[in-house]
Structure 1
Amino acid sequence: MKKLLLSFVLALAGIFTFAQNTWSVDPMHSSVNFSIKHMGISFVQGRFDKFDGTVTAPGANLDDAKFNFNVYTESVNTSVDPRDKHLRSADFFDIEKFPAMKFEGATISQGKGNAYTLKGNLTIKDVTKEILIPVTFGGVTKNQQGKQVAGFQTKFTINRLDYNIKYDPTGAGVAKDVEVVLFFELVK
């Protein structure tokens, strides 16, 4: 009887260990990019060089998964030092007060094929807003080290004024809408 009980406890522990799946962003194969219209005639492109995140799922699929991503504002990079310094100032990201932008995903629902919609809270500076993000799932494979990896990408637009990035509130010089493009490879 003791052997049977011990076997049952070990099997149950194995199920709970196996059931919890955590995937982490691989920064070597991921990017956080943006573009914004300048003077109404051209675009400025940039990226953030430091970011991290996890997806934690209680089972083998993404049902009830929790998404947590951080983008570190001091790492903004448009390849123009004076502009990057200005973006780090209180006019834009105010990196001293707000060192990170955060996204916490609450639900994900599947559309057609590899299309999903991720619903969660985006925090930039002192503002948190619920947003819907379209996500394309690229699939799952194994990397060179034999670890499972999954690929995701998304493109969406936010209004920077909604997040207290109030520089040029008319949008004449720096547009209000920012296009965000993310490519994430996650490692299990």
Structure 2
Amino acid sequence: MSIFGRKNADGSAATAVATVSPELTAMTGTYTIDPAHSTIGFVARHAMVTNVKGKFDDFTGSLRLDGADPSLSTASIDVSMDSIDTGSADRDGHLKSADFFKTDEFPAMTFRSTSVESAGGDDYRVTGDLSILGVTRPLTIDLEFNGAAKDPFGNERVGFEGRAEILRSEWGLTWNAALETGGVLVSDKIKLNFDISAIKNA
């Protein structure tokens, strides 16, 4: 959305007029996240020397996009914690246990946006409430709009790529083990990454 100043015939300044791109306006609507073409992942430092990557295979979500005023857009995501996948069955089992996510007691992680703001160009900043282990705290995601397209099946799609960082201890995820050489086994800082493809509802 662009704001352009006008001048009256006598040269005095007129009220600024907001102009909205027709392409953005056409994107306005409700979208369902397509999990088959989306990824919700994370990266944790392991043993102070390497990164372990993981993702969640089972999640649902929806987006309400307002092309005329992005600040009115919203996002909602629900993740099944039992679907965690780090490429190691033993590690996944440990992450599901009482040491970490306690999936028997807390089966879901949720995110509900509370505000959306433009960060310039195709970049946006989405802030919301992230709930893990029954603890809800604010999370801000830096989001990049990757574009919109109609796929061969007639679906109108939009794509976003996002990044965020959290300290897992702030959500009660405090398990760790000390290393003989100093430091700990699992980093407190966790990097989150999102690749989202969403389909516009009919």
TM-score (norm 2): 0.79
Write the letter of the residue equivalent to 1:176. D
Residue of structure 2 in register with 1:143 after alignment: 151
In structure 2, relative to structure 1, the CA distance for the partners of 1:117 and 1:43 (3 Å cut) is: same
Deviation per CA, 1:89-135: give whole Å up to 9, x if none.
01111101111111000211111111100011111111111121110
Residue of structure 1 in register with 2:135 after alignment: 127
- Given candidates 181, 185, 188, the residue that maps to 2:197 is 185
Q: Distance in 1 between matches of 2:114 and 2:177?
A: 31
Matched residue count: 171
Amino-acid identity (%):
30
1:37 Cα offset (Å): 0.5
Q: Secondary structure at the match of 2:70?
A: coil
- Matched ranges for 1:98-177 at <5 A: 98-168=106-176, 172-177=184-189
Q: Distance in 2 between matches of 1:124 and 1:182?
A: 17
Determine whether 1:69 maps to 2:81.
no
In structure 2, relative to structure 1, the CA distance for the partners of 1:19 and 1:34 (3 Å cut) is: closer
In structure 2, relative to structure 1, the CA distance for the partners of 1:169 and 1:70 (3 Å cut) is: farther
Write the letter of the residue equivalent to 2:198. L
Deviation per CA, 1:108-164: give whole Å up to 9, x if none.
111111110001111111111112111001111111111210000111111110011
**Unaligned runs of at least 5 residues, structure 1:** 1-17
- Given candidates 88, 92, 95, the residue that maps to 1:84 is 92
Greater helix proportion: 1
In structure 2, relative to structure 1, the CA distance for the partners of 1:112 and 1:78 (3 Å cut) is: same
TM-score (norm 1): 0.85
In structure 2, relative to structure 1, the CA distance for the partners of 1:148 and 1:61 (3 Å cut) is: farther
Determine whether 1:25 maps to 2:33.
yes
